[in-house]
Amino acid sequence: MYASNGHKNNILKIRYFLNYHVIRSKIIIKMDSLEINKIIAAILVVVALIIGLDKISGSIFHAEKPKNPGYKVEVMAASITDAPDTGEKIDIAALMAMGDLDHGKKIFKKCAACHSIKQGGGNKIGPALYNVVGRTIGGVSDYKYSKSLMSYGKEWTFEELNGFLIKPATWIKGTKMAFAGLKKEKDRASVIIYMNQNGDIPKLLP
């Protein structure tokens, strides 16, 4: 049997429809593949640029590592009264030249809670300090000293006062004086000058 013209036309239309969509699908798939390839290529280009820039910046801004890392700290020369327990000779004249009587009066306020300095002043927690410069260490008769001070056997010279005032517990081990000490040379020199002035006959400064 022969198909009618209408039937043939329908078959042709169906074929055309199928061919169109098949071709269109292939084009879309091909286009999608191209888009994916473009995206991958773009990513690879960006990665390559990053690696390239890193290498370039590394060569431009390269810094040699120092042989000795960190900063070199210069050790300052020891002060004229460092390390009181080493027995080293100090320049007491240079030290006392730093002192000031008015400054010493202010510094002595740290001592006034435990010591009197005026003539006729009695003992407090610590012994009276009037006439202390040149006096035998442990020489106040009505004060109970520690055994270490009683057996020390020296006088309160400028050098001894300076060393003791740096840190009493270090200078005369076993002393019961708990004072932390005066770290600044000017403070020690000034308070020694002030104590020296509070005596019957002040000693000549070195």
Segments forming the whole domain that contains residue 18: 1-63
174 and 100 belong to one structural domain: yes
Would residue 95 count as lying in a domain?
Answer: yes
Would residue 77 count as lying in a domain?
Answer: no
97 and 182 belong to one structural domain: yes
- CA-CA distance, 63 to 57, in Å (whole number)? 11
102 and 57 belong to one structural domain: no
149 and 50 belong to one structural domain: no
Would residue 202 count as lying in a domain?
Answer: no
13 and 110 belong to one structural domain: no
Would residue 104 count as lying in a domain?
Answer: yes
Would residue 7 count as lying in a domain?
Answer: yes
Would residue 72 count as lying in a domain?
Answer: no
Q: pLDDT 10s digit of each residue in the chain, 206 long?
A: 444 566 566 666 666 665 665 565 565 555 566 777 778 877 877 767 777 666 665 555 555 555 555 544 443 333 444 444 445 578 999 999 999 999 999 999 999 999 999 999 899 999 999 999 999 999 998 999 999 999 999 999 999 999 999 999 999 999 988 888 999 999 999 999 999 999 999 999 99
The domain that holds 147 is classified in CATH as: 1.10.760.10
| Helix/strand/coil for 155 | strand
Would residue 26 count as lying in a domain?
Answer: yes
- CA-CA distance, 176 to 174, in Å (whole number)? 6
| Helix/strand/coil for 136 | strand
97 and 54 belong to one structural domain: no
Number of domains in the chain: 2
pLDDT for res 49: 74
95 and 53 belong to one structural domain: no
56 and 94 belong to one structural domain: no
Phi and psi for 12 in degrees, rounded to 5? -65, -40
- CA-CA distance, 115 to 119, in Å (whole number)? 12
